[in-house]
């Protein structure tokens, strides 16, 4: 069973393994992170955790029972009750509903814990799986964009405010 967890320093070894093991797979859908990302991974993770502590980003991992990372779901550029959603799922866990489940969970967390009211997302036209995840999780297509030089679509989802406990 997998679990959505807020990114913490102890995730570093499993997160690095996830990124290395899936690098070629991810490069078929999104621009490659480049060698520098892996060379300076510890410093980059430190910077990400600092952004998270400042509240400008919210990073999550999807971990299995052994602690292995199966995916990431991130909310970046959080400001004015809005953030940009991004996610990636390990090749071995793809097409099993994990992305849909994780995006639904992070939408709930975004509203209840981070007090966000709107999420934005984008994906390339050729990434049918990502487009399907966004559609299944309540995102609405809002326009076109370029992602890494490739044509893409933009999406938005309004989040329900947390229920009051009266």
Rounded average pLDDT per 10-residue block, the chain, 166 residues: 92 92 83 80 93 96 93 96 94 90 96 96 92 96 91 94 59
How many CB atoms sit inside 10 A of residue 14's CB?
17
What pLDDT does 78 receive? 95
Quote the pTM value.
Answer: 0.89
What pLDDT does 163 receive? 60
Q: Is 108 left (phi over 0), alpha (psi -120 to 50) or beta?
A: alpha
What pLDDT does 157 receive? 98
What pLDDT does 38 receive? 84
Domains, the chain, with CATH or none = 3-158 (3.40.630.30)
CB of 138 closer than 8 Å to CB of 106: no
- Rounded-to-integer distance, Cα 166 and Cα 3, Å: 30
Give CA separation, 75 vs 38, 60, 88, in Å.
21, 8, 12
What pLDDT does 117 receive? 97
What pLDDT does 51 receive? 95
Secondary structure of residue 60 in the 3-state scheme? strand
Backbone angles phi, psi at 96, to 5 degrees: -125, 10
């Amino acid at each position: 069973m997998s679990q959505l967890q807020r990114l913490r320093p102890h995730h570093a070894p499993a997160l690095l393994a996830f990124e290395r093991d899936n690098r070629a797979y991810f490069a078929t859908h999104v621009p490659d992170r480049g060698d520098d990302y892996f060379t300076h991974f510890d410093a980059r993770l430190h910077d990400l955790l600092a952004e998270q502590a400042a509240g400008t980003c919210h990073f999550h991992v999807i971990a299995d029972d052994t602690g292995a990372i199966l995916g990431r779901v991130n909310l970046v550029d959080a400001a004015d009750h809005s953030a940009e959603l991004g996610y990636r799922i390990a090749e071995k866990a793809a097409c099993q509903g994990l992305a849909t489940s994780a995006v639904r969970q992070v939408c709930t967390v975004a509203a209840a814990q981070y007090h966000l009211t709107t999420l934005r997302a984008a994906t390339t036209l050729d990434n049918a799986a990502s487009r399907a995840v966004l559609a299944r999780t309540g995102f609405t297509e809002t326009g076109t964009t370029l992602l890494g030089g490739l044509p893409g679509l933009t999406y938005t989802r309004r989040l329900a405010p947390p229920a009051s406990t009266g």
